Amino acid sequence: MLSQELRQQAADALYDADTQRHLIPQLSKSYEGIELEDAYAIQDLWLNKRLAKGARLIGRKIGLTSRAMQMASNFNEPDYGYLTDDMLLHDGAQIEAARFLSPRLEVELGFIMGQDLQGAGCTVADVMRATEFVTPALELIAYRTHVPRAIVDTIADNAAAGAMIIGGRLVRPFDLDIRWVGATLSKNGIIEESGVSAAVMGHPAAGIAWLVNKLSRHGVGLKAGQMVLAGSFTRPTNIAPGDVIQADYGPLGTLGVRFV
């Protein structure tokens, strides 16, 4: 377990890495004895620094929702991070690739909360009742540390959240079976990935229920108006300057961006 001073030091290092666009050594190598509790505490301190600089909290993200990714990370449950307003990008955006370190894209669904949701015992049904809209979304993941990374490195680094891109069609959660939302991700006209939303823990709302139960231990939850990225149902796709990306969600529409 780390002292509060060391946690703050690690959060400052991650913040500087992000703003100055350079990689730092893995925290698991720099801070002997770092534990999961430390990693989430560092994430909170990193967020506080972002908020103090003018960012606004707009939601949460969930990662490691597939068993394959959990096995690759040697971890047996999802993880989570924060979303702030300066991470929000929209369909049609031109994105500076150099703004992010080792950027990759994942295909997801975003849940926009219509009601506050907090407390232990949260279920998929509770999530569905509390959700106002579901929207196509891409998560841009980015690392601020070198690889390979232990799970504490990923969590402390805001669960690798870099940005989110939203577009396509807003739907109410009961207007379709959101377990069977399919999507393809094309890069420069070639389909790189495809998947279906049921790959996220059997139901894309299941990860959000898991998150609410986790947050209940700390006396917090989700707020009306916040967005939650529910987890990827494709493998990450590498991005470089010049890449043109299009995600096709069928009845939910498409969203596209260009990296410069």
Per-domain boundaries in the chain: 57-259
User: Cα separations (Å) of 43 from 39, 202, 245, 251?
Assistant: 6, 28, 30, 36
Enclosing H/E stretch for 94: strand 94-95
Question: Can you tell me the mean pLDDT for 171-191?
Answer: 97
- Residues of the chain with pLDDT > 70, as a percent, come to 97
How many helices and strands (H and E) does the chain possess? 7, 13
DSSP string, 171-235: B-TTSS-GGG-EEEEEETTEEEEEEEGGGTTTSHHHHHHHHHHHHHTTT--B-TT-EEE---SS-
Q: What is the pLDDT of residue 71?
A: 65
Kindly indicate the confidence band of residue 65, based on its pLDDT and cuts at 50, 70 and 90: confident
Question: Can you tell me the mean pLDDT for 74-87?
Answer: 91
Q: What is the pLDDT of residue 232?
A: 94
Q: Give the largest CA-CA distance in the chain.
A: 51
**159, 61 Cβ separation under 8 angstroms:** yes
Using one digit for the tens of pLDDT, what is the confidence trace for 133-175?
A: 999 999 999 999 999 999 999 999 999 999 999 999 999 999 9
**57-259 CATH fold:** Fumarylacetoacetate hydrolase; domain 2 (3.90.850)
> β-strand 254-259 against 161-166: which pairing, if any?
unpaired
pLDDT of 73 higher than 70: no
Q: What is the pLDDT of residue 238?
A: 97
pLDDT of 68 higher than 60: no
Kindly indicate the confidence band of residue 195, based on its pLDDT and cuts at 50, 70 and 90: very high
Q: What is the pLDDT of residue 64?
A: 87
- Token pair, residue 197, equals 């939303």
d(CA 251, CA 55): 34
Q: What is the pLDDT of residue 35?
A: 97
Residues 6 or more apart from 177 whose CB is under 8 A from it?
Answer: none
> β-strand 244-248 against 254-259: which pairing, if any?
antiparallel
- Token pair, residue 67, equals 């068993």
Q: What is the pLDDT of residue 247?
A: 98
Give the CB-side neighbour count of residue 86, counting CA atoms within 13 A. 11
pLDDT of 27 higher than 80: yes
Question: Can you tell me the mean pLDDT for 44-64?
Answer: 97
Average pLDDT score over the chain: 95
> β-strand 94-95 against 254-259: which pairing, if any?
parallel
